[in-house]
Structure 1
Amino acid sequence: MGELGINSSEELDLLVKYLGPQSYEHEVSIRASNAGDHSKGIERIWRRLDERYGRPEAIEAAFKKKLESFPKLAHKDKEKLADAPQKYIKLYALLDDQSNRTLARSELFDIMQIPESDSLQYTLSTCAGRSSVSGRKASGLIIESLDGKFRTELPTVIECNQIPTDRQEIPTPDVIRHYKHLRDVKLPPHDDDADILLLIGRDLPEVHHILDQRTGPRATPFAQKLRLGCVVIGNVCLGKTHPPRVLANVNKTILENGRPTIFDTCEHRLAVGVKRVKNDIGHDVFVRSVDDEKIGYSIENKMFLDIMDHEFSKTSDGNWIGPLPFRSPRPRLPNNRNDALKRAHTLQKSLLKDRDKRNHFTTFMKRLMDNRHAEIAPPLIRDEECWYLPLFGVYHPQKRDQVRVVFDSSAKHQGISLNNVLITGPDLLNSLIGVLLRFRKEPVAVIADIQQMFYEFRVSKKHRNYLRFFWHKDNDPSNELIEYRMCVHVFGNAPSPAVATYGLRRCVENQENDCGAVVRDFVRRNFYVDDGLGSFST
């Protein structure tokens, strides 16, 4: 107050103006009782304020109250954190103590804007073997539990797109409520907007520590509480059955007694048949049928062949056209346009940074357009079912100057992908060993190769809107993205190999007059995918 240069009366006026309600009443009372001595009144007021608010206990209590009322910020408060410089994403993470490194899918690296220059070459070992892989790496990423109680820095994260992404493995409250011993386990509801993008290995051991556990009777699932949340381990029973996660086609062999088996039959087994001939008992006792080793198709494979037999046809201009073999019944596909557009923008950024990759992509797409394998997509009818395919490039290790553009039919949206609703079809390939042995049989060799075999078979017009994709106008990555659709069966669709093999054989079916029996047999017996190998005596 001395710095303001005011007298005692003016100081009293200021205190009256700025004190709180309770202190104000006491100040007025003290001022009235010391009306003739303002200096003494000021001294009494300051002494009372010090006793009331200056004690250590009072200061500590006021400080704690202030902290309790301080606004809390969690990872869910996106609006409050909008101005923060850090980037964040809500995701599902897998914990795998059998992995020695922490891995993440490309989407996480793209969201965090990790440049492709921060990459390394590493060896990936899986059940399928060892392979050399290139991917980005990132350091300094922070992971936090959903409740915000645990937060730690991740070790160096390596880009890998072979992380499992089966959303049906995510535990939900609806699952555990059927088990009495799990009812006190707190699980958050399933979040459709959060993707499985991260796999944490044993290089971050503290997140694998088990803080609590709930076990039950034999053959029931159990739960573990970890620092990042709770996990449920075990099979979930519905009506004492375990519904399969994935529907699989099983090729069965029909034995001579009519019973099917999934096991391979022995090539040296003895098949005995009895044919009774009048007046010639014993004639042709050991008879073998041409169907002895014939593989029986599954129900879905029979459905695939039935669709192809009825809808695969030759057009007036000489092109073969076939449908997409949809499962029946099947769920309706959701509209994944926004997801595909986001992937297209990510690819565009990558192409603009890498000139060689950009040239390879535009060359491939130019050939696609020139051959009328793709067309500008027409407008959709309201509520018309469709699907958009994201694109990515694949390089052959020995052909680094060429790229094969793959249509990602396995990309999921709301837990479903195009491949989930298509029938893969039977394995119609010839035995590779048989093809090679017949190739070495005669002195004159003949080889053939079908370039872009899948693209030789067009897709029915009614199914082309399931093959929509985004690409740049006039094939220029600097131009805007517009919608196209494929007119042919694409590399990336699960049924494409079976469709192409079926179509190739259909081309020579009943065509002996045009191409001859030799060509027909060559296609039927000596082709393996798109490569033909044959040998002849002359």
Structure 2
Amino acid sequence: MPANRAHIPTPNVANSWPHLTQIATKLMPLNACEVGLLIGYNCPQALMPKEIIPPDGQCPFGQRTDLGWSIVGIVSQGYVEADAVGLSHRIVAYEVPSVRALPENYCVKSVLFSVRTSVKEIISSDVLNLLERDFRDSPETNLSYSQEDLQFLSILEDGIAYKQGHYEMPLPFRSPSPVLPNNRALALSRLRHLQRRLQTNERFRYHYSQFMEDLMVKGHAEKVVDTPSHNGTIWYIPHHGVYNVHKPDKIRVVFDCSSVYQGHSLNQHLLQGPDLTNKLVGVICRFRKEPVAILCDIEQMFYQFKVSSECRDYLRFLWWDSNDYSQEPVDFRMTVHLFGATSSPGCANFGLKRIALDNEGLFGSAAADFIQSDFYVDDGVKSLATVREAISLIEAIKSMCSKGGLRLHKFVSNKKEVIQSLAPEDRAKDLVNIDLVRDKLPIERALGVSWCIESDTFQFHIALKDRPLTRRGILSSVSCLYDPLGLIAPVILLGKQILQQMCASKAGWDDPLPEQLHAKWQRWWQGLHSLASLKINRCVNPESFGEVSRVELHHFSDASSVGYGQCSYIRLVNHENTVHCALLMGKSRVIPLKPITIPRLELVAAVLSVKIGNLLQQELRYEDITHVY
């Protein structure tokens, strides 16, 4: 913590050292304000070095972390050892992003930064705006692509090719064959940091080595045999390993394509492309249409789409041959589109839809429609009328995907006949050794929603974690309730109202919950346990209902002085005029703090219902729907 302002690194300080002039514009100017220090212990990765500018001798060195550039060392060239004040170790200036960009459980206290008057903080209005506009209601019609999106699609359309059982696509660069600096030294520095962790953590080393060996065996990466002189078309990607909290024995190696060296990163030169992902709400709604349900997953989706050979030198990385850490690392390069590249989701979705388009004639329109419309990233869900249709569709989509080098696995179904038709290696983990006669079917997650397969119902198993009763803790608690269809929207609304009242009172992020809200919060929080008993039928069309002759959507909306919302029910009528109704979707919002009359709020709620109705009509894809408001 610097007490002597002369020790604070500034743009002028950087300009005084020749090797640091390149980051002078990236440092904070010295303002007339007090310097504060926030210390946190739960986010060490915030200070992990991403890029180093090495010193010449005993000079200070430049260091980039996720928080920006800083200078480490004695910054004053006139430093006197007898100075009793102390030394400046590191000063990092960081502008806190919008609340929409913050990851869950993000803690501002986890970073070290110098406070200045122009720092943008997350203010109450940001959270209030999020509460009042927390979802998109309108269906997307007449989609128009930006020029960059059109460029992305043109590059893939012209460059895609089918080779050796896989689709191969070029990296969609903003400009052809960008010239990049030689960043091997940065990649080597990052690898040395990784090496220290590999040497001290046996479990981490084992999983990391297995992952890398798997890449080589499956041909997802290859050793660079002939290394030409650097001509600007070679880029090295640092990498690190992360664990999924739900899969503690499975590591994923993430390639840091955002790593910056001399003002360049791979992601800066790649086009992201248009969002080709299907709507989550639409996929789940269609999953509820028929009595027979299936769920599946694409194994390592990104890695099944190859990168054109002329682009692979941009995907180099350093590793040890045969996992021998005693040797010098050597050059490898990825042959596939990888996690961490901004273009990979667009490329994978483009390739998946291309597989359906190219093979529709061989395997039928039903399989092609499933591949194109019923996948959300790499998870596919579908509902069908009969078991026979489900088994036939599974065989067709497996064959269609295998044509493009994709393997569908982790199949789940609510019908034991469908599970019986699947090979054990194609089933989900909990269904591999199950006794289909005596055992009950387990609970699985269908696009994040808890699906009890045995009872064929959606359920809500909420893991309640103790969080501090502050605005930060309450925001985290309310945000952890995952409900894409709004089936428990009235419950979540109460939590939002408490959060809104805290924001309206201008409470700080770590200010305690006001006494007048404490009892209300405790009742709401403890009442969440009762959600475990709530069960909502997945299927809106009972198996014994028969052929549907008429489909109606009934929309209800209402408003009050504390909130407004709507809910939509589907009403099915068969040829015998038997009626069946089911809740499809709901939405709720807190009212704006600005005074609004109840009649106007009623109108806003009615408009919300119309938007949801249009969305459901587009996504459900019934031939004829009657809306009742």
Look up the match of 1:280: none
Match of 1:362 among 201, 209, 221: 209
Look up the match of 1:476: 324
Match of 1:327 among 171, 174, 178: 174
Q: Give the RMSD, CA atoms, in angstroms.
A: 4.2
Look up the match of 1:402: 250
Look up the match of 1:522: 370
Greater relative contact order (Cα 8 A, min sep 6): structure 1 or 2?
A: 2
Q: Is it true that 1:107 corresponds to 2:49 in the alignment?
A: yes
Rounded Cα–Cα distance in structure 2 between residues aligned with 1:93 and 1:347: 27
SS of alignment partner, residue 200 of structure 1 = coil
Match of 1:491 among 325, 339, 342: 339
Once the two structures are TM-superposed, the CA of residue 75 in structure 1 deviates from its matched residue by: 11
Match of 2:152 among 304, 307, 327: 304
Q: Is it true that 1:536 corresponds to 2:384 in the alignment?
A: yes
Once the two structures are TM-superposed, the CA of residue 420 in structure 1 deviates from its matched residue by: 0.4
Rounded Cα–Cα distance in structure 1 between residues aligned with 2:53 and 2:159: 43
CA contact (8 A) 1:142 1:152 kept: no
Query: Structure 1 residues 92, 328: closer, same or farther in 2, change over 3 A?
Result: closer
Rounded Cα–Cα distance in structure 2 between residues aligned with 1:77 and 1:326: 37
Letter in 2 for 1:106: M
Look up the match of 1:376: 223
Rounded Cα–Cα distance in structure 2 between residues aligned with 1:360 and 1:500: 26
Letter in 2 for 1:366: E
Query: Structure 1 residues 338, 164: closer, same or farther in 2, change over 3 A?
Result: farther
Look up the match of 1:275: none
Rounded Cα–Cα distance in structure 1 between residues aligned with 2:182 and 2:24: 22
Q: Higher helix share goes to which structure? A: 2
After the TM superposition, which of the residue ranges 405-414 and 103-112 deviates more from structure 2? 103-112
Task: Report the count of equivalent residues.
Answer: 314
Percent identity, aligned pairs only? 39
SS of alignment partner, residue 293 of structure 1 = coil
Rounded Cα–Cα distance in structure 1 between residues aligned with 2:159 and 2:52: 42
SS of alignment partner, residue 295 of structure 1 = coil
Once the two structures are TM-superposed, the CA of residue 459 in structure 1 deviates from its matched residue by: 0.5
Letter in 1 for 2:270: L
- The aligned runs of 1:311-350 (5 Å cut-off) are 311-315=159-163, 317-328=164-175, 332-350=179-197
Rounded Cα–Cα distance in structure 1 between residues aligned with 2:96 and 2:218: 36
**After superposition, what is the alpha-carbon deviation per residue over 1:10-41, rounded to whole angstroms, capped at 9, x for unaligned?**
xxxxxxxxxxxxxxxxxxxxxxxxxxxxxxxx
Look up the match of 1:273: none
Letter in 2 for 1:431: K
Q: Which runs of 5+ in 2 are unaligned?
A: 1-12, 18-22, 55-66, 98-110, 121-134, 387-629
SS of alignment partner, residue 490 of structure 1 = coil
Match of 1:388 among 213, 225, 236: 236
Rounded Cα–Cα distance in structure 1 between residues aligned with 2:141 and 2:173: 29
Query: Structure 1 residues 147, 452: closer, same or farther in 2, change over 3 A?
Result: farther
Once the two structures are TM-superposed, the CA of residue 382 in structure 1 deviates from its matched residue by: 3.3
- The aligned runs of 1:67-466 (5 Å cut-off) are 100-101=38-39, 105-107=47-49, 144=75, 148=79, 152=86, 199-201=112-114, 266=138, 293-315=141-163, 317-328=164-175, 332-384=179-231, 385-466=233-314
SS of alignment partner, residue 470 of structure 1 = strand
Look up the match of 2:603: none
After the TM superposition, which of the residue ranges 303-312 and 470-479 deviates more from structure 2? 470-479
Query: Structure 1 residues 147, 411: closer, same or farther in 2, change over 3 A?
Result: farther
Look up the match of 1:500: 348
Letter in 2 for 1:374: A
Rounded Cα–Cα distance in structure 2 between residues aligned with 1:452 and 1:200: 39
Letter in 2 for 1:105: L
CA contact (8 A) 2:187 2:317 kept: yes
Query: Structure 1 residues 328, 93: closer, same or farther in 2, change over 3 A?
Result: closer
**After superposition, what is the alpha-carbon deviation per residue over 1:353-392, rounded to whole angstroms, capped at 9, x for unaligned?**
1111100100101111110111111323334321000111
Look up the match of 2:521: none
Rounded Cα–Cα distance in structure 1 between residues aligned with 2:285 and 2:267: 35
**After superposition, what is the alpha-carbon deviation per residue over 1:76-116, rounded to whole angstroms, capped at 9, x for unaligned?**
999xxxxxxxxxx999765897984488621299999xxxx
CA contact (8 A) 1:454 1:497 kept: yes
